[in-house]
Amino acid sequence: MVNNTAWNNMLSSSTYIQSGEIDALDSSDVNVINNVAVNLVGKDVTYDDGNHYDYNLWDGARVPFKWGHDIAGKANLTDPGGGNFAPRAGSPALRSGTNVLAPADDFLGNSRPAGAIDRGAIQVSQ
């Protein structure tokens, strides 16, 4: 699960489903890297010890702890309510990701540069 952007991705208000946004619970050997997750309802981030989480940006989620290069803070997306999930100037997602396991192109088909890439589905920095 690499270079995704999830915004208000709650499919259920069930109290049984404790997590929000990006979830790899009850999974193993999953790489959760370079993602941006904006959680408008403040649910917990879930994790399993058999998975690798790093270089994610958690906005609004209750993060029990941060993995190596994770950031907990505002994503500063352009217009998520209008469908524009690109990080805007000042976003901590810009140039702070890793190219390890990252796809060559972003969600829109734009190529990702070598070196520090943007976290999330849309590459802005070149």
**Average pLDDT value for residue range 97-116:** 93
Residue with tokens 């999974």: 27
Residue 13 is predicted with a pLDDT of 60
Average pLDDT, the chain: 85
Residue 114 is predicted with a pLDDT of 85
Of the listed ranges 2-11, 26-35, 93-102, 103-112, the least confidently predicted one is: 2-11
pTM for the model: 0.86
Cβ burial 35-74 (10 Å sphere, 16+ → b, else e): bbbbbeeebebbbeeebebbbbbbbbbebeeebeebbbee
Annotated domain spans of the chain: 1-126
E strands in the chain? 5-7, 31-33, 36-38, 52-54, 57-59, 71-72, 77-79, 84-87
Residue 18 is predicted with a pLDDT of 58
Q: Do 71 and 92 contact (CB within 8 A), yes or no?
A: yes
